[in-house]
Structures are given as C-alpha cells and as structure tokens.
Amino acid sequence: MAHHLFFSRADLDWQVWVEDSPRPLPLRYVLTSKDLPSQPEYTIELHGWDARVTPRPETFAVTPPVGAEQIDLSNPPK
C-alpha cells in the first residue's frame, strides 16, 4: 500500500507515491512537463532502501571549482 500525492503548477505536475508503513519511504516519482510539446513524462522507481546505511560526511562534501562564487539565497533576485 502507498499514499499518492499530486502537486501542480503552471509548467509542471509532479506525483509521489510514499510507502504506507512505519518507514514512509518514497516509492515512485512522476514528473510531467506541461510547458513542452506533447508534455513528456518522467518516472523514477525507487526500491531496495536500506535505512541502516549511514553515509560518510565526505559523501556530500562540495569542492567548488576555482572562480566559483557563493550565492546568497536568503535574498533572491526578483
């Protein structure tokens, strides 16, 4: 069993199926591009989750390229 959630905006619809269990993990995503001809749809199926795995901190470390600048997202441009 799963819960199905649907979200929509002018250019994109997206759906997510979340497992109905004590560990509510995502099972499927579907994205529909409404602003492109024929409205292509992309589906992602997820399985084999192992919630016991703890990634090492360096797995998500970012090393920006030389000359990269940090953008302040607390005050985005209009």
pLDDT reported for residue 73:
84
Which residues have a Cβ under 8 Å from the Cβ of 49 and sit 6 or more positions away?
A: 23, 25
pLDDT of residue 70: 87
Beta pairing class for 26-33 and 2-8: unpaired
For each successive 10 residues of the chain (78 residues), what is the average pLDDT?
Answer: 96 96 94 94 94 90 93 79
3-state helix vs strand vs coil in the chain, percent to 5: 5, 35, 60
Amino acid at site 22? P
Closest CA to 51 of 30, 17, 26: 26
Confidence (pLDDT) at 72: 85
- Which residue ranges make up each domain of the chain? 1-28
